[in-house]
Homo-oligomer: A and B are copies of this chain.
Amino acid sequence: MSIELWLWLVIGAGILALIYGAVTVRSILSASAGNERMQEIAKAIQEGANAYLKRQYTTIAMVGAVVFVAVFFLLGWQVAVGFLIGAILSGAAGFIGMLVSVRANVRTTEASRTGLAAGLDMAFKSGAVTGMLVAGLALLSVVVYYFLLTGLMGFEPVSRTVIDSLVALGFGASLISIFARLGGGIFTKGADVGGDMVGKVEAGIPEDDPRNAATIADNVGDNVGDCAGMAADLFETYAVTVVATMVLASIFFRGLTGDIGVDTMMIYPLAIGGVCIIASIIATYFVRLSKGSRNVMGALYKGFIASAVLALVGVGAVTWSMIGFETDITTAGGVTFNGLDLFLCGVAGLLVTGAIVWITEYYTGVDFRPVKSVAKASESGHGTNVIQGLAVSLESTALPALTIIVGILVTFNLAGLFGIAIAVTTMLALAGMVVALDAFGPVTDNAGGIAEMADLDASVRETTDTLDAVGNTTKAVTKGYAIGSAGLGALVLFAAFTEDLSYFAQNPAEYPFFAGVAVDFALSNPYVVVGLFFGGLLPFLFGGMSMMAVGRAAEAVVAEVRRQFRENPGIMTFETKPDYGRAVDMLTKAAIREMIVPSLLPVLSPIVLFFVIWFVGGAELGFNEAGKAHALAAVGAMLLGVIVTGLFVAISMTSGGGAWDNAKKYIEDGNHGGKGSEAHKAAVTGDTVGDPYKDTAGPAVNPMIKITNIVALLLLAVLASAA
């Protein structure tokens, strides 16, 4: 098939995902939204979520506008437009996901009145819409802009304009995503922690009690944090990984001619994305409860396994027909492999995904040692619960890291750095399905809250609780997947950085800034060590800043709810309703204010490090080549430093948080004294600690890692275009 046909097929697959989304949304909206009280609550959540996201995106837009102008002047309009596309579509993915989930929540509550199967169906459908939109929009953004640049505008696929534009597209997606992840995470956990503190602890009223002014904010948070934030994050991971793989292909296969040219290799990752979207769409129909079964996790896994198996077949078919299993391909660096090797890399990517899913479930599921040990430690008090939870969180990093290590070794030996890139691309090609499983979580969480607030029959809450418990696990699993793939994806970005750099250095006539610059990336170069340390500190500092931000946001909520209880005693006696809107508003302001500085940390760090080392080190050297080489070595090493510590920080936070959460649930199921026991109180403390760990700081480390890498890539591009 011709290259152009492949591009059209990929575009077709992307459009199919959008159509799937549109059709499913219609089916969701046609379902009943329940009684008046339920609709009233749902409306409050919708309004809150809408108001928050509008405000968040307005703020981000201001930062984005500055960056857009900078990119425009530094790298030209095509690159700036790429940035814009990435930013807008990343935002859109989050916004649409939120729009759907705030409508699906109340309909899930209503469906749960008829039974578990109906509730599951509604919640999963809503997740699937978000999932397919994320994957579809991400794929479409890259493929369409690539098509426009190389087809309509006639740029060479390997030209700087095409590469820089694609990188900028990834940057746009990353920039939005870190703000959305962090802002949403601060909002949702500020509401959660603050609401629990003032409601459960101080006023002694249950969770989701309508007298608590923070309840609506809590539900809003699920939608803007766990749903919109996560969607933006996965959009970014997807887009950035595909872009990085294409950039690597453009460098490695620059000289490839004949049937399989550099354009084939650049479109190959896109084709993998396309076929996997179709696999994911088909697999959604496998998610169904067996008759009479209550095994919700089993139903979801059926869909997940179906998507993996179909993806395997699809990737095999694409590889066979695009490249052929036995044709040898040689990279510019002299690595030779064939299509079968690439296919096996894809298989390795799927196996890594499977292993990470299993490991995450082991560390966060109630059936295994880690969660049980945290629950048991709760018997002897708050302190021991937290100690055991921290111990589990630290330990939980080892197996995922080993999995990634084995993945790197296997795929590199199969097909070099490009093999690693193809493995990650295949991993991420399943994003549609994974996001579907994840976005399911906040919807069921909301559904439970609505059932509680609307005072529905206890059986409804029981059904939504069953769904919600599964949602907790799928959320943890998705985070493990997102971070694992981000770790590997960042390696691909780092490879793109070093390859780009060596290409520039080899062509000094074209890129005069790099004339005579010989960058030494060896570990024995102290600038590399300095870069590793500097990169290594970023996830720690970022994590600390975002945990503090949650603390401050929670304090704002506590102050507001306390004020309402004090000034309006009728709230406690159900005579008057609390002012939910003010709590939402309060939190909106706090979250927006708090997200700015930590988000800018990874954006500015590579730039600051480069110029500080170049200027300080370079001044002595008269700003010569050696100074440039030192600065570039430090920045490159920084990228790896941020991956190395970031991976561990993120996994420890998300797994640890999940373990604390489910240890509480395990106790609430009647173990170690059950609800209300001293062990339960200790477990609530652990859960509170885990909240910002797993839903704010941990997941935000993921886009943080990548934004550092992609800013560094853009920095190179700017330097390359400098005289």
Footprint of B on A, CB under 8 Å? 193, 196-197, 201, 373, 377, 380-384, 386-388, 390-398, 401-402, 404-405, 408-409, 412-413, 417, 420, 491, 494-495, 498-499, 520-524, 526, 528-530, 532-534, 536-537, 540-541, 543-545, 547-548, 550-551, 554-555, 558, 613, 616-617, 620, 636-637, 640-641, 644-645, 647-648, 652, 684-685, 687-689, 692-693
Docked-complex contact A617 and B688, CB < 8 angstroms: no
A386 to chain B, nearest CB (A): 5
**Complex-state Cα separation, A554 to B524, whole angstroms:** 43
Docked-complex contact B529 and A408, CB < 8 angstroms: yes
Name, among A540, A554, A558, the residue most crowded by chain B CB atoms within 10 Å (CB to CB): A540
Docked-complex contact A526 and B381, CB < 8 angstroms: no
Copies of this chain per assembly: 2
Closest to A550 in B: B387
Which 6 residue pairs are nearest across A and B when measured between Cβ atoms? Answer: A383-B688, A395-B544, A394-B544, A391-B547, A382-B685, A401-B537
Of the candidates B196, B417, B541, B692, the one whose C-beta lies within 8 Å of that of A387 is B692
Of the candidates B388, B521, B540, B616, the one whose C-beta lies within 8 Å of that of A548 is B388
A557 to chain B, nearest CB (A): 10
Closest to A620 in B: B413
A205 to chain B, nearest CB (A): 16
**Complex-state Cα separation, A201 to B380, whole angstroms:** 9
**Complex-state Cα separation, A257 to B397, whole angstroms:** 51
Which residues on the B side are within 8 Å of A636 (C-beta)?
523
Closest to A681 in B: B382
A7 to chain B, nearest CB (A): 31
Docked-complex contact B494 and A533, CB < 8 angstroms: no
Docked-complex contact B689 and A390, CB < 8 angstroms: yes
Docked-complex contact B197 and A541, CB < 8 angstroms: no
Closest to A621 in B: B413
**Complex-state Cα separation, A382 to B385, whole angstroms:** 11
Docked-complex contact B392 and A645, CB < 8 angstroms: no
Closest to A499 in B: B524
A250 to chain B, nearest CB (A): 17
Of the candidates B383, B534, B617, B647, the one whose C-beta lies within 8 Å of that of A405 is B534
Docked-complex contact A523 and B524, CB < 8 angstroms: no
Which residues on the B side are within 8 Å of A652 (C-beta)?
540
Docked-complex contact A537 and B648, CB < 8 angstroms: yes
Of the candidates B373, B386, B640, the one whose C-beta lies within 8 Å of that of A529 is B640
Which residues on the B side are within 8 Å of A620 (C-beta)?
413
